[in-house]
Amino acid sequence: MKRAYIAAFLLIACAVAMAGCASQAEYLKNATLGGNFYNYNNVHYWKDSITMNASGVSSRWNMTVYVKNDTLNGAPVRYMQIVTEGNGMNITYDVWSDPKNYSVVKMHGKGTIGDYYQDKDTSTLQIGTLPDVGLSYYFVPFWPVKNITARTPDGNTIPITVYSASDNKGLTVAYWMCPYVPVPMKVEVSDQNVWLTETLVGYG
């Protein structure tokens, strides 16, 4: 599943829905853009447990993301180091993106996927092959679909709002957000053949 195409499909679906509304302002009244689900200024790192089921085959791995403001060739950028471990992967991606428009300007991969080893700059489009880190659906409007209360391991309860967007053809992306946490508690991406879940393990 390519993230760039998924995001484009979602945006097209949203645009079609918008055509039946009185105005864009009315359409977006209760929507939240995907870019708002990651408060990069209030987090230094987060770790997700990833579960994917593709055509009946399940796999699991861990992803840790380190983020900070940086510069590249004299221009301000947001730098992320994305470390993936498990399921035959041990690879680190360095990602530099424009903090204003979220576009990836440079990407480097180092490590192994199965028996394949790489240490090189990669296409910036490869960000679309990774679980979401806030760079895939930043321009897509999401709507709140339910409010729930979750219990933490220490016994406390926290409020969570689930936001969702769909292309009405089977593709759905959902963010589980807690107002106290700077990154999603959970991200779910699904279509007819693939279900991917990112569950927050920790952050700081």
In angstroms, the CA 138 to CA 103 distance is: 10
Greatest mean pLDDT among 4-18, 22-36, 150-164 lies in 150-164
Asked whether residue 2 carries a pLDDT value surpassing 50, the answer given is no
Q: How many CA atoms lie within 13 A of 162 on its CB side?
A: 14
pLDDT value for 88: 86
Mean pLDDT of the chain: 87
Which residues, in sequence order, are bridge partners of residue 84?
A: 63, 91
Long-range own/partner contacts, residues 50-53 (CB < 8 A, 24 or more apart): 50/131, 50/196, 50/197, 50/198, 50/199, 51/196, 51/197, 51/199, 52/194, 52/195, 52/196, 52/197, 53/194, 53/195, 53/196
Is the alpha carbon torsion for 125, 130, 131, 133 positive or negative?
Answer: negative
pLDDT value for 66: 98
The tens digit of pLDDT for each residue in 51-97 reads 999 888 899 999 999 999 999 999 999 999 999 999 888 999 999 99
Pair of tokens at residue 21? 């509304």
State which fold the 3-203 domain adopts.
outer membrane lipoprotein receptor (LolB), chain A (2.50.20)
H or E element that contains 142: strand 141-151
Pair of tokens at residue 71? 């510069």
H or E element that contains 24: helix 24-27
Pair of tokens at residue 66? 């380190």
Taking residues 107-133, report their average pLDDT.
93
Asked whether residue 11 carries a pLDDT value surpassing 90, the answer given is no
For the chain, the distance separating the N- and C-terminal CA atoms, rounded to the nearest angstrom, is 30
Assign 176 a pLDDT band (cuts: 50, 70, 90): very high
Contact in structure between 97 and 105 (CB atoms under 8 Å): yes
Q: What is the pTM of this model?
A: 0.85
Residue 204 or residue 113, greater confidence: 204
